[in-house]
């Protein structure tokens, strides 16, 4: 009787641990799907601006070079983010559900390790999209309007970087979010 109770207790603990890991797996999948979708939208915006924008012939070479550089980096970073979120979600979920005993833990840990790379790609894609917008403002607008646009875009970049750092720091510690 005592041995049976011990086995039942061990089974219940293992089942609850798997349920907790499943919640983590679902959280990662939801987060990665949201980030991947936003990244795909940003890649589309960048590609459209690359293909559709008509640059004046008298624009400075440096501003055109910056625009093309930032758009190219944005497209690449956003597509890497989209591809990574797809791979991690599909392969991680598949391993967790169809793998051998203990594969749920392996899959969740692997997804957790990829999180940093995915969010870095997303951040680079987002910031370079804004920098491309800033470059385009200097090409297409008057100097006065471009200055105002640059201030607004710079403020936006500052807030995004600040919030990303704050979120990262809050995730590293168990305390409250203070931003």
pLDDT (average), residues 102-120: 88
Q: What is the mean pLDDT of the chain?
A: 88
Q: What is the pLDDT of residues 126-163, one digit of tens each?
A: 999 999 999 999 999 999 999 999 999 999 999 999 99
Q: What span, in angstroms and rounded, lies between the C-alpha atoms of 25 and 111?
A: 8
Structure tokens at 19: 């349920």
What does the pLDDT read at residue 178? Answer: 45
Asked whether the predicted pLDDT for residue 77 surpasses 80, the reply is: yes
Q: What span, in angstroms and rounded, lies between the C-alpha atoms of 155 and 17?
A: 44
Q: What is the DSSP secondary-structure string of 129-176?
A: HHHHHHHHHHHHS-HHHHHHHHHHHHHHHHHHHHHHHHHHHHHHSSS-
What does the pLDDT read at residue 14? Answer: 78
Q: What is the pLDDT of residues 45-71, one digit of tens each?
A: 999 988 888 888 888 999 999 999 999
Q: What span, in angstroms and rounded, lies between the C-alpha atoms of 104 and 118?
A: 20
pLDDT (average), residues 3-12: 74
Residues 6+ apart with CB under 8 A from 71: 46, 49, 50, 128, 132
**pLDDT range class, residue 119, cuts 50, 70, 90:** very high
Asked whether the predicted pLDDT for residue 99 surpasses 90, the reply is: no
What does the pLDDT read at residue 179? Answer: 45
Contact by Cβ (8 Å): 135, 109: no
């Amino acid at each position: 009787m005592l041995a049976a109770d011990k086995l039942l207790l061990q089974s219940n603990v293992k089942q609850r641990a798997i349920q907790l890991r499943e919640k983590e797996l679902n959280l990662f999948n939801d987060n990665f799907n949201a980030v991947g979708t936003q990244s795909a939208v940003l890649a589309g915006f960048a590609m459209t601006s690359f293909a559709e924008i008509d640059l004046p012939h008298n624009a400075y070479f440096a501003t055109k070079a910056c625009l093309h550089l930032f758009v190219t980096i944005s497209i690449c970073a956003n597509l890497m983010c989209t591809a990574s979120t797809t791979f991690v979600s599909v392969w991680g979920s598949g391993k967790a559900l169809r793998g051998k005993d203990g594969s749920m833990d392996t899959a969740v840990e692997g997804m957790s390790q990829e999180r940093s790379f995915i969010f870095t790609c997303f951040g680079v894609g987002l910031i370079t999209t804004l920098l491309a917008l800033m470059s385009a403002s200097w090409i297409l607008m008057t100097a006065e309007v471009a200055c105002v646009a640059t201030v607004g875009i710079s403020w936006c970049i500052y807030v995004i970087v600040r919030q990303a750092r704050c979120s990262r720091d809050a995730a590293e510690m168990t305390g409250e979010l203070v931003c």
